[in-house]
Amino acid sequence: MFFDIGPMEMIALVILAVLVFGPDKLPKVIQDTMSFIRKVRAFSDSAKEDIRKELGPEFKDFEFEDLNPKTYIRKNILENEELGLQDLRNGFDFRKEMAEVTDAVNGTDTTAAAASAGAAGAASAPTSTPDRLRKREALDKDEPPPFDSDAT
Alpha-carbon distance of 102 to 108, in angstroms, equals: 9
pLDDT, the chain, mean: 76
Least confident of 12-16, 17-21, 54-58, 109-113: 109-113
Residue 82: pLDDT over 80: no
Do 15 and 24 touch, CB atoms closer than 8 A? no
Long-range contacts of residues 49-56, Cβ cutoff 8 Å, at least 24 apart: none
- pLDDT the model gives residue 134: 58
Higher per-residue confidence, 114 vs 72:
72
CB 18: neighbour CB atoms within 10 A? Answer: 12
Give residue limits of the domains in the chain. Answer: 1-55, 63-109
CB 10: neighbour CB atoms within 10 A? Answer: 13
- Band of the pLDDT at 131, cuts 50, 70, 90? low
Residue 125: pLDDT over 80: no
- Verdict on whether the full-model pTM lies above 0.85: no
- pLDDT the model gives residue 124: 47
Q: Is 26 exposed, middle or buried (0-12, 13-18, 19+ CB in 10 A)?
A: middle
- Band of the pLDDT at 5, cuts 50, 70, 90? confident
Nearest to 62 by CA among 78, 74, 47, 51: 51
Q: What is the mean pLDDT of residues 145-150?
A: 73
Cα distances from 151 to residues 130, 133, 147, 148, in angstroms, run 18, 17, 9, 5
Per the document, the length of the chain is 152
- Band of the pLDDT at 15, cuts 50, 70, 90? very high
What residues have CB less than 8 Å from 17, skipping those under 6 apart?
26, 29
